[in-house]
Every structure is written in structure tokens, then in C-alpha cells.
Chains A and B, each alone.
Chain A
Amino acid sequence: MTKEFKRPDGRKVDELREMKAKVGVVPNADGSAMFSFGDTVAIAAVYGPKEHHPRNQRNPEEGTLRCTYNMLSFSVTDRIRPGPSRRSTEISKITEWALEPVVMIEKYPNMVIDVHVNILQANASTRCAGINAAAMALAHAGIPMKDIVSSVSIGKLDKQLVVDVNKYEEDWEEGEGATDIPITFTNSGELTHIQLDGKITSKQLKEAIELAREATKKIYEVQKEALKNPLREEK
């Protein structure tokens, strides 16, 4: 239960994988961004605000944020069947919910903003990388936003909390096994999304949220840096 807990890849318990971020990766989109946690790479492209079709889904009170999460067939070791699945539909909705509190869609009644998130490479935490990329892409598209969101996954390996789980840790089987908790925070410290799959005590959940709060601050810095230097060359 101390800092001496050994993670398989030698990281400290509160250490994130190396992050990379870039904006303007899709020239034809109105805004786009790439975000990666180690081997997990996500690309987000934003189109709009534009006319909402089909018309019956229009909302005259406020605009609509429409997210699509897609894992490319070559992103994992076993080829996944392309096209929408139960999992991708769920994550699309989750991405929408995580972003909705900060995006000022009320300025665009009867219109839609499309956000397409594609996972190029997956090594766990794909939804978090996707949300981070989507937040940057929305800002890059010039959509009015109250804040930027940053997302991180907190894992519980047996009884130890760790930040930013990778695939190996996600499949942890010793002791109580692995629990994955993706959490999204705004920069001002408000929580916009939390998911939990597994078992955790309420005390430890609070600890997990605090860990995520600290980790998202680091992620925010990476996102900010990338947005502020759109012309920066990749190192």
C-alpha cells in the first residue's frame, strides 16, 4: 500500500504515460486534434456547426453535440470488426456527456456539431484519449466553450490505485483483480464524467477522484501547450 508498489512498466503509481498532443491534423475538418497516452493514439475531427439532418432530430432550443467513437480495425492485436458495436455506441454517448457541460451549444439552435473520434492504436484508456482529443478539436474548431476538459483512467490493481492504466494492467488478475475508473475533469476542477466497472470501497473511490484531479492538471498542460503552439513541429 505504499509508493513501492511495482507497476509492470516501472511507472510510479501516480505517473502518466508519455503524452503527445497536436492540433490541425485533419486539414479538411473545421477543427482537429491528436492525443496520445503512450501507445494509445486518438484522433478527433470536428465538423460544424452545420445544418442538422435528419430534421426531426433538430432541437430549436439549443444545438446538438453528436459524437462518434470508432476503433479502427487495426488498432488492436486481434483485428476488430469495423463498424458500430455496443461498446462504441456507449463510448460515443459517454464522450458526448463528458463534453456537453463545457460546450456552449445553446448558441447554435437547430444546428449540429459533429465530433468524430478515431482510435488509431489502442493500449487501454482509449475513451480518455478520445475525450482529450475531442476537447482540443472542439476548441480548435472555434466552438465557444466554457472550459477545456481532460480525462484520465484510474485503475485499482488488487488494492492499489494507479493512474493511467495500460492494457497489461487492465487485465490484472492477482488478488481482487482490476477495476477501471475513467474520470473527466474540467480545468476549473469540476467533474463531468465518471465511470466505474468493478468493485471499490467508497473511501477508495474518493481517493481515486483526488488522484484523477491531480493527473488531469498534467494532461491540461499538454493540451494547452499543443493549442498554443499550433505550428510547432513534432519533436
Chain B
Amino acid sequence: MQIKERQYIKKMTDRKIIIPGEVIFEGEDYLPGEGTEKKGKEIISLRYGLAEESNKLVKVIPLSGVYQPRRGNVVIGRVENITFNGWIIDIGASDRAFLSLTEVPRYVNKDGLDEVMDFNNMVVAKIWGINKRGIDLSIKSRGLGKIDEGMIIKINSNKVPRVIGKEGSMVNLIKENTNCNITVGQNGLIWIQGDKIEDELFAKKAVLFVVEKSFISGLTDELKKWFDKEKGK
């Protein structure tokens, strides 16, 4: 059974679903990476997901679960609370995220924080630090800031890499075909902005198609076919 698993993982096209406690590899040849642990001579999985091996490093890519924040991620969140020096943003992670006044690239009156961003406003922000107290956000960069118009949809955060595609190939394909501006937050929130509502709804449909078919390999080509079919209607 061990040998069978090894062969399975070598074929990178169909990676294998691993459950916690399951032995991924045996022997000293491999190093345990993210989501794995070395127990005696075996590398066991700690998480439910897909096992992947590259350069002798074994890791498990999670398939489900809440969003795990990482430094540098661009996320979309909702203003949950306003404090005297910033905003508390709900980004769907287990920790609370804080956007400090000093991380806003404009002058803000200390009494008028709500004029810049009020409760329930949506904001695109970048995670610049994670510590014990929580997550620190910043909007000091291009493309970040408050969302004024458009549509926001929510998907499983583990499907985000599929929606973006290799070097943004998937999301660019959707952008080209729908004339919409799309910002994908790593936490699973997607901001779609187009000239017409129809365009936005079409883009939403395309994103949901990608999410639904996320387990298929060669999905970019599949999406191209889908667009041809949908536009031919």
C-alpha cells in the first residue's frame, strides 16, 4: 500500500487526498513541510488535504477550513468597529484584523474616522503583519482602499488559488471576457466591478463555474470553452 501511494504522488496531475494521521512517506529521504510531522521514520499528515512533494519537501495543501492569514495577502473585509485610532475589519479569519490610522495614505481627522470608512463599508487591504494581538492591515498601496461600487461574492478561501490561476491566468481570462475589474481577496471575497450589471453577473457566473469545477485539471481551457458556449447563446 505504501508503494502504491508513492506512485500516486509522483504523478503530479492527480494528487492524493490525505487524512490526518496518515503516513505520507516512509524513510529518511523526505523532509516534513507544512501540515506534516515527522514521527519516528515516517512523515505523517496533520491536516486533511492534498499531499504534494517537491525537492524532497512534503507538504499538505488544505482543502477546507477557515482562512489562514499570511503576511502580504490582499484581503477584502468589512468594517466591524471603529476605535479612536483605526478600524477593526472582519476578514473572515479567526483573529481580528486592525487597520491603523497611520496606514491610511491621506490625512484623517481623528474625530472623523467614520467619514473615511463607516460601519459595514467594504475595504481592500493588505496584511503587513501578524502577531499575538492580531492581524495588522494596511491600505498604503495601489489598488487598496475602500470599495465604493461593484459586487462582492464569497467563495471558499481554499479555492482562491484556482480562481487566480497560474500567474493570474484564470482571473485575467475572466476579466477579458466580461469587461469587469476583478479583485480576488485571499480570504475568499471577490470584488467584481463592471460598467453594466449584466457584465458583473456574467463575471460572477464565471467565477462560480471555476469554483464548482475546481478539481478538474486544465481548467483554463475548460473556461475558454465555457465562455465560447455562453457567448454563442
| Interface, chain A (partner B; CB < 8 A) | 30-31, 48-51, 102, 104, 108, 111, 139-148, 186-188, 223-224, 227-231
Q: A31-B64, A49-B66, A141-B64 are in contact. Are A146 and B48 (CB under 8 A)?
A: no
A147 to B37, CA, bound (A): 11
Q: Which 5 A-B pairs have the closest CB atoms?
A: A142-B65, A147-B21, A145-B20, A49-B94, A139-B48
Query: Does any Cβ of A come within 8 Å of B12's Cβ?
Result: no
Query: Does any Cβ of A come within 8 Å of B46's Cβ?
Result: yes
Enumerate 12 A-B pairs (CB-CB under 8 Å) in ascending A order.
A30-B64, A31-B64, A102-B21, A142-B47, A142-B49, A142-B64, A142-B65, A144-B47, A146-B37, A147-B20, A188-B21, A229-B17
Are B48 and A142 within 8 A (Cβ)? yes
Are B66 and A142 within 8 A (Cβ)? yes
| Interface, chain B (partner A; CB < 8 A) | 17, 19-22, 35, 37, 44, 46-49, 62-66, 94-96, 158, 215
- A108 is contacted by which of B62, B64, B94, B96 (Cβ under 8 Å)? B94
CB-CB under 8 A from A227, the residues of chain B are 17, 19, 48
Are B17 and A50 within 8 A (Cβ)? no
- A231 is contacted by which of B20, B48, B65, B215 (Cβ under 8 Å)? B215
CB-CB under 8 A from A145, the residues of chain B are 20-21, 46-47
CB-CB under 8 A from B158, the residues of chain A are 142
A108 to B132, CA, bound (A): 11
Are A186 and B21 within 8 A (Cβ)? yes
Determine which residue in B17, B21, B158 has the highest number of CB atoms from chain A within 10 A of its CB, and name it: B21
CB-CB under 8 A from A230, the residues of chain B are 17, 63
Residue of B whose beta carbon sits closest to that of A31: B64
CB-CB under 8 A from B62, the residues of chain A are 142
Are B19 and A228 within 8 A (Cβ)? yes
A204 to B119, CA, bound (A): 64
A142 to B95, CA, bound (A): 16
Residue of A whose beta carbon sits closest to that of B21: A147
